[in-house]
Structures are given as C-alpha cells and as structure tokens.
Amino acid sequence: MIGRARFRYYLSMKIISLTDIHSKFDSVDSIAEDLRAADLVLLPGDLTMFGRRDAVVEVVDAVRQYNDAIYAVMGNCDYPEVEAYLTEKGMCLHRSHAVVDGFALVGLGGSLACPVPTLNEWTEDETREHLEAAVSGVPEGTPMILVSHQPARDTAVDLAGIGLHVGSAAVREFIEQHQPRICFSGHIHEAQGVDAIGETTLINPGPFMEGKYAWAEVTADSCSVEARIAPDQA
C-alpha cells in the first residue's frame, strides 16, 4: 500500500478525473473552479505522449497549482520515468491502493496490447495479477474506487471507432467480483460515456487533451457522475 492515508469521512467525496491528457493541458486553467472544489483529482493514465520525467512534471504541476490531492496511474503511452515520478511523489496507484477519506483507491495502469505496440501493455492474465496486487490488503468492507486506464470489456466505455469492444475481460471480472462504487477509465478516446456493471458506475469522459473530463460525487453506498467539457473547448 502506498502512503498518505486519511480517515476523515465525508458525506460525499467530490472527485474530478482527467484522463488521456497526452501532455496537452491548456484547458487546466479553464477548469480551475472544479479543480479547487474537488476533494480528489484522479489521472487515469496517458498523462504524456511518450513523455519522460520532464513531461509528467509539467502535467502534474499544471494540475497541482489548483489541487494537490492527486492520484494517478500511468497509461500505455507513458515511459517508465512517468511511473517512477508518480511513485516518488506518493501519487502512483498502479498495482497498489491508498485509503483516502474512508475509500480505497485501487489502481491499474497500462493497457492490453494495441494495434501498434506501445510502452505498458499486459496480457489478460497479467492484468488480473496487477489487479490482485492492487486490492491486496484493502481493509474488509472498505468501499472501493477503481482507477484503471484500461476500461472493462463489453461496455459503453470500451467501444472503439471500428465498432468493436476492446476493453479488458479481467477488468470486468474484477468489477463483477468486488463491485467498486465507480471505475474511472480512459484509453479509448472515442468511447466517451457512462455505463454500469452491477452496482458499479463506469465513466470514460473522453480525453482531456480535448478538454473532456469527469466529475463525480461518491458516498459509501452511491455515486453520481457526469462527463464535462472545459469552457475553453465548449
């Protein structure tokens, strides 16, 4: 388990999620109000476009000027230096979890194999192992929030432009078994939407490089979520 554990219980936790930034963070300033209002900022992968340490520092610093309660996973387009930096700063959730305000944030970075090979790609069996490592040690009965770059299979949030569902069966199995309150994902840029698996809400807001992001309010037994667009992109 990574550091920074806080145990204040909120009636509702406000969460903002920016995925697939790909080093294009010009819209951050235009969502400053939402960033400041959030209890937590989640970055579910592809913070950079094949960037290294300098690139991820720029992204994180742009967000941190408005809110420093940040947790993240690397995407398939982030070099190992990205994961190393996030780990160094106590932000990385990949293969791990953090208990924050009574919720367990559980993380999975990378993706399944892509048509053109990228940096952090796993088989379904490796994905299962990563998720098992991430959830290991979560206190029993703690409501979970899943932060997964790779979306679950056969949902509205994994439908590629070619008309095929390209999400992970392992991620879906994990959600079916553990029923986190919500799963924040990305990776499939065109699969913007909200869906559900059982009691778990799924959200892929689309890429923040286009000003798209998610806003959610989560309690111990429910959540509401919406996809938003930055004012400078509307």
Q: Give domain status of residue 2, yes or no.
A: no
Structural domain total, the chain: 1
Which CATH number covers residue 211?
A: 3.60.21.10
Q: Give domain status of residue 187, yes or no.
A: yes
| Residue-number span of the structural domain to which 71 is assigned | 14-233
Q: What is the pLDDT of residue 210?
A: 98
Q: Give domain status of residue 3, yes or no.
A: no
Do the beta carbons of residue 213 and residue 228 sit within 8 Å? Answer: yes
Q: What is the pLDDT of residue 220?
A: 79
Q: What is the pLDDT of residue 11?
A: 54
Do the beta carbons of residue 189 and residue 157 sit within 8 Å? Answer: no
* Both tokens assigned to 180: 């986190």
Q: Give domain status of residue 8, yes or no.
A: no
Q: Spell out the per-residue pLDDT of the chain, length 234, in tens.
A: 444 444 444 457 999 999 999 999 999 999 999 999 999 999 999 999 999 999 999 999 999 999 999 999 999 999 999 999 999 999 999 999 999 999 999 999 999 999 999 999 999 999 999 999 999 999 999 999 999 999 999 999 999 999 999 999 999 999 999 999 999 999 999 999 999 999 999 999 999 999 999 999 999 788 999 999 999 998
Q: Give domain status of residue 120, yes or no.
A: yes
* Both tokens assigned to 224: 């509401």
Spatial distance between the Cα atoms of 117 and 175, rounded to a whole number of angstroms: 26
Looking at the whole model, is its pTM more than 0.85?
Answer: yes
Q: What is the pLDDT of residue 97?
A: 98
Work out whether strand 103-108 and strand 144-148 pair parallel, antiparallel, or are unpaired: parallel
**Side-chain half-sphere CA neighbours of 51 within 13 A:** 22
Phi, psi (rounded to 5 degrees) for 67 = -165, 125
Q: Give domain status of residue 6, yes or no.
A: no
Q: Give domain status of residue 1, yes or no.
A: no
